[in-house]
Amino acid sequence: ETGVTQTPRHLVMGMTNKKSLKCEQHLGHNAMYWYKQSAKKPLELMFVYNFKEQTENNSVPSRFSPECPNSSHLFLHLHTLQPEDSALYLCASSQEDANSYEQYFGPGTRLTVT
Amino acid sequence: GDSVTQMEGPVTLSEEAFLTINCTYTATGYPSLFWYVQYPGEGLQLLLKATKADDKGSNKGFEATYRKETTSFHLEKGSVQVSDSAVYFCALSSGYSTLTFGKGTMLLVSP
């Protein structure tokens, strides 16, 4: 595998379910991100991890719970979601001490909450 | 705070037409600037970047020049193809790892 991978690619869940999204980066980066992309809305940054420590949480509801066990893996645990949480969830990574801070994205998980 | 403004879409062109997608920004200091592209059903891919004033980023026939005097980073391509149909995002980084994105501009190219 190369780049940033995400699983599953598609997920349908009920409002009472618990599920997890997984992201893995194979680039040797030390920062990872979760974004939410909804139709006709700007890309929303949800969480940032630098060196496995959470450095940013953009007022995300507690029904979204991130976990970063090491610098290569990032999870997003989901529970009691709402229909408005249906969106494309994108993971990205970057090298924190680089000069230009470009981020590399995974293909995303298309989440539908019923 | 930092912000990025892109032209509203969709931009509709015929194959081989010239493309310009405008992007202007507001930022403190000297940000790095990026263009990302998102094809249908996929994540964002880095298309090109520029890290200082007057730098020109280029890739796959696309170009953008970092203009500090006009705080702009317009994306251009001389001859678009149907396969260029996608959503294009302008973004900046002000020296931190988080990026500020524009709202995206959809490009539709017809044969």
Q: In angstroms, what separates the C-alpha of B76 from chain A's closest C-alpha?
A: 20
- Find the chain A residues whose C-beta atoms sit closer than 8 A to any C-beta of B: 4, 6, 31, 33, 42-43, 45, 48, 50, 56, 90, 92, 94, 96, 99-108
What are the tens digits of pLDDT across the range B74-90? 999 999 999 999 999 99
Contact B43 A43 (CB under 8 A): no
Mutate to test the interface with B, among A46, A50, A101, A105 (most CBs of B within 10 A): A101
Q: What's the Cα-to-Cα distance from A39 to each of A42, A46, B85, rounded to whole Å? A: 8, 16, 17
Find where tokens 């809305």 sit: A41
Name the pLDDT band for A68 (thresholds 50, 70, 90). Answer: very high
Contact B42 A102 (CB under 8 A): no
Q: Is B32 on the interface with A (CB under 8 A)?
A: yes
SS3 label, residue B92: strand
d(CA A68, CA A88): 20
pLDDT of residue A99: 66
- Token representation of residue A10: 């598609």
pLDDT of residue B97: 66
